[in-house]
Amino acid sequence: MTGYWLLTPEYLLLIVAIVALFGDVMPGGQRSSAILGALAAIAAAGFAFFIRTADPLFNGMLVFDQISVFARVSIAGLTGAYLLWLGGRGTGSERAHEATALALFAAVGGMLMAGARDLVTLFIAIELATMPAYVLMGYRRDDDRGLEGALKYFLLSLTTSLIMLYGFSFLFGLTGTTLYSAMDLSGAGVLGVLAAAFVLVGLLAKLSAAPFHYWAPDAYAGAPASSVAFVSTVPKIAGTVALVRLAEVLAPGAAQLPALLIAASIVSMLLGNLAAYPQRDIRRLMAYSGIAHTGYVLLAIAAGASGPAAAVFYTVAYAIPSMAVVLIAAEEGTALDQLAGLSDRRPASAWALVVFLLSLVGIPPMVGFFGKLYLFTAAYAAGYRVLVVFGVLMSVVSAGYYLRVLREAFYGERATAPDVEASLPAGLAVAMLVIATLALGVLASPLLAYLGVSF
For the stretch 202-216, pLDDT in tens is 999 989 998 888 888
Mean pLDDT computed over 403-410? 91
- Helix, strand, coil % in the chain, rounded to nearest 5: 75, 0, 20
Which residues 6+ apart lie within 8 Å of 193 measured at CB?
253, 254, 256
Which residues 6+ apart lie within 8 Å of 115 measured at CB?
57, 62, 63, 64, 68, 72
- Radius of gyration for the alpha carbons in the chain, expressed in angstroms and rounded: 21
- pLDDT given at position 422: 73
- pLDDT given at position 221: 87
Mean pLDDT computed over 415-424? 72
Q: Name the amino acid, one letter, at 139.
A: Y
Cα-Cα-Cα-Cα dihedral sign, residues 446, 447, 448, 454: positive
- pLDDT given at position 28: 64
For the stretch 322-346, pLDDT in tens is 999 999 999 888 888 888 888 888 8
Top-confidence residue, 403 or 417:
403
Which one, of 269, 279, 441, lies nearest residue 362 by Cα?
Answer: 441
The pTM for the full model equals: 0.94
- pLDDT given at position 138: 82
